[in-house]
Amino acid sequence: MAIIVVGGSAKSVGKTALVCGLIAALPEHQWTAVKITTHDHGKAESLWEETEAGQGTDTARYLAAGAVRAFLVTSHDGTDSALEIQQAVAPGTDLIIESNRILSELKPDLCLGVLRPEGVAAEVKPSFQPFMLRADALVTVAAAGSSAGPAGRAIPVFRLARLEHPSPELLAWVRERLLLASHS
């Protein structure tokens, strides 16, 4: 099972758009997509499965992009989600998770951080600081290029015209990383 985690530096930075873009662009994977949130979304259960594709919610967008299943996990303290998720995922499917905090519970094959577009000011979420230490690459909306990543580590920075449409370079990089992870 391949596991990708997508986190973001701020609210409305494009995490869901990137997750949907990856799901649509990597159809060779049978994705189960999960959004983990600390916000109450009016669901009685902490783990809720979306069943209808559409544009009304992030989980509906995952299904519309091609995910085989989509879940919303509400975790008020941001923990204890990994076991619930792993129990819900069917064998033979891959997992893509939208969350900054899940990294304290789970070691993904690939960790992508979404940054605010260049030139847009926004307060960075406190949960993104530790995420940056584990990020394998960063993604933002801008012109092509790369730069140094967190904590002095040189990691790729993919600058996309639109997060919903990952570049061929990002897709090749993701496929290579997932292939390497499957052989380790």
CA triple 28-14-156, angle to 5 deg: 70
Asked if 127 contacts 102 with a C-beta cutoff of 8 angstroms, the reply is no
The candidate with the shortest Cα–Cα distance to 75, out of 104, 117, 46, 109, is: 46
Quick one: average pLDDT of 142-165? 72
Q: In angstroms, what CA-CA distances link 140 with 77, 114, 136, 169? A: 27, 6, 14, 14
- Look at residue 148 in the predicted model and tell me its pLDDT: 43
Q: Which of 20-34, 76-90, 93-107, 165-179 has the lowest mean pLDDT?
A: 76-90
CA–CA distance, 132 with 111 (Å, rounded to integer): 9
Per-residue pLDDT for 120 more than 80? no
- Look at residue 136 in the predicted model and tell me its pLDDT: 96
Asked if 27 contacts 67 with a C-beta cutoff of 8 angstroms, the reply is no
Per-residue pLDDT for 101 more than 60? yes
Question: Of all residues in the chain, what percent carry a pLDDT higher than 90?
Answer: 58
Q: State which fold the 3-182 domain adopts.
A: Rossmann fold (3.40.50)
